[in-house]
Structure 1
Amino acid sequence: MKHPQYNPALDNPPLTEAEMDELDQLLLSAATDESVMDMESLDGYLTALLLTPTLPDADVWVPGLWNSDDPDSSPFASGKQTKRVVQLALRHLASIDRQLKEGPDTLEPLFGIAEIPGSDDASDVVVDAELWCIGFLHAAALTPDHWNAMFDDPELADQLAPIILLGGDPDSMTPEQVEMIASSEARDALSRMVPEAVSALYARAVAARN
């Protein structure tokens, strides 16, 4: 199967709320115990793709949506469903790309948000970027040479730490690292640091392209 490549020159309007719900449900319908991707993790996944000097081939990153490396694989019941998922994912990729180009500060990542019980302030919420970071690291695994260099760069270590902590496997962490993500308050603080990491990585990607 030859999946369509991302073309930033095409007119790709942002997904409507209904289309985001549709894509979320399609992804969840194809999920297995080994692979669960929803809109939060997809958003992180697509963001990571755009932070590389060269976007991976669609036949590499599209199967990754359902945790496969086979371009001919699809967990959906029909080719029509597969095509719809790819179409919607490409449009969301374009939306993230536009935000990054306008300025990383305009990026609105899809993080989990929960209201604080007992608070009368609607803006008083706890943010959790775990699923977003899991998706981000999943995409990073597609181009390990590039991302290993980023993760090993001491200049980026502090900025990338929140993504690694929130999206990493707790079983592979030290007790100190597990403690750093143990409370909702700690996860909220780390989650709010993720956009800064995206800004730093985007600057690196732009510099590498020029």
Structure 2
Amino acid sequence: MLALGLVETKGLVGAIEAADVMLKAADVRLLEKSLASGGLVTITIAGEVSAVQSSVEAARAAVDRLDGAVRISCHVIPRPDGELERILQLQPPCAQAATEEEPPVTAAPDAAATPDAPATTDVVAEAAIPMPENAAATSPPPSLFDREKAKAMSMGALRRLATDLKTDLSSAQIAAANRQTLLNAIERATRKEKE
């Protein structure tokens, strides 16, 4: 079950401390940091209900210990309605893609009768094991560049992709670039490789 956790503080230092403590306290994902007028900052996290509750409580205690930081409110929404997914991305993009695109792996019925059956079952077992994500797995091949999929990639993955594709940006520019600049540079680099 998913839950949504919100911590609102007055001032950025308290919000950064709250986010740090929440991410260290339990297995939760940082969804966003929202800035409002008057110095109000809202940190939003998602994860399992118990993990979010313990993270928000830890953040509440941490912000209250800071001098000068003002905690405005803390709130946990257990099992939020599905309509909230239109506003907030509660599932990480890689988990959604894995559940949608993963076909079931089945062994052939006559595999046990053949003498090389252990080799084929080993291959099937290896294919079923999810591999850890790395830069090569998250970056699409240059000929199959899809801007919408690239928008869902993390900034780190976009920076690695921009470096791997040898875009027209220097490493310092890649490190300081925003998402739109990286997407444009990657798109230009893939067009050059196609030509």
- Tell me the TM-score normalised to structure 1 length: 0.30
Higher relative contact order (CA 8 A, sep 6+): 1
TM-score, L = length of structure 2: 0.32
Bigger proportion of residues as strand: 2
